[in-house]
């Protein structure tokens, strides 16, 4: 699908790709998730089926351009689409567009990162909200071929500073700022962790 978006212009959305490392195949999906521009159920199911059964991927990640800008609040379409992606077979959902962090939802034992905040954003010269996140995902398989992800959260200053944009992200080194960042995500620690489905 091609969309004409006021921010991005006329671009192709709804795409997928596959990469392989150390014998693990990972499928990547990319979509818009706004009120008037979002993938159909048929498209989601088709892409996920293709990745899982034609490409033979072990793990599927969906990247969503969605949500309101400069708000920590998750809107209803983010919640709805994020859970739908998991229901259809995606293993990890992450979002961008808000420019600030938004909470992580664990749904059926799988994470939906509604927004990582910024990583590098050249349109801001000051720093309205300095907190961002890098997510490290380590994937292993057991003897039955089941994939086990471990998630490590790395808080960053996306601008390299708290006041002025230096256009060079750097790891956070202030315990109070790290705690503030984890609080926005509703994540308890920077230690490696797993998510399980609630009984």
CA dist., res. 169 & res. 181, Å (int): 15
Residue 12 has pLDDT above 50, yes or no: no
Tell me what the pLDDT averaged over the chain comes to.
Answer: 87
Predicted confidence (pLDDT) at residue 4 exceeds the cutoff of 60 = no
What percent of the chain lies above the pLDDT cut of 70? 89
Query: What pLDDT is attached to residue 100?
Result: 92
C-alpha span between 77 and 22 (Å, rounded):
36
Burial zone of 41 (CB within 10 Å; 0-12 exposed, 13-18 middle, 19+ buried): exposed
Q: At what angle do helices 41-49 and 76-88 cross, to 10 degrees?
A: 40
Chain centroid, CA 37 distance in Å: 18
- Token pair listed for 129: 């909200």
Six-digit token string for 156:
């960053």
Q: pLDDT confidence of 45, banded at 50, 70, 90?
A: very high
- pLDDT of res. 9: 45
Strand arrangement, sheet containing 15-21: 15-21, 24-33, 59-66, 92-96, 110-116, 101-107
pTM over 0.85: yes
Tens-place pLDDT, residues 104-147: 999 999 999 999 988 877 766 778 899 999 999 999 999 998 99
**pLDDT value, residue 86:** 97
Determine which of 142-146, 149-153, 185-189 has the lowest per-residue pLDDT on average.
Answer: 142-146
pLDDT score, position 29: 93
Q: Above 50 in pLDDT, residue 198?
A: yes
């Amino acid at each position: 699908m091609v969309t004409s978006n006021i921010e991005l212009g006329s671009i192709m959305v709804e795409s997928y790709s596959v990469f392989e490392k150390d014998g693990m195949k990972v499928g990547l999906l990319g979509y818009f998730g706004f009120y008037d521009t979002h993938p159909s159920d048929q498209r989601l199911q088709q892409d996920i089926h293709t990745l899982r059964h034609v490409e033979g991927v072990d793990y599927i990640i969906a990247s969503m351009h969605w949500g309101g800008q400069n708000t920590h609040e998750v809107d209803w379409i983010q919640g709805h689409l994020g859970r739908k992606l998991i229901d259809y077979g995606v293993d990890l959902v992450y979002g961008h567009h808000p420019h600030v962090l938004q909470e992580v939802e664990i749904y059926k034992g799988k994470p939906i990162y509604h927004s990582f905040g910024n990583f590098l954003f050249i349109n801001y010269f000051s720093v309205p909200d300095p907190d961002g996140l890098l997510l490290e995902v380590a994937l292993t398989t057991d003897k039955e071929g089941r994939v086990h992800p471990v998630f490590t959260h790395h808080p960053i200053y996306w601008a390299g500073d708290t006041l002025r944009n230096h256009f060079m992200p750097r790891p956070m080194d202030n315990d109070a700022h790290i705690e503030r960042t984890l609080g926005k995500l509703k994540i308890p620690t920077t230690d490696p962790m797993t998510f399980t489905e609630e009984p």
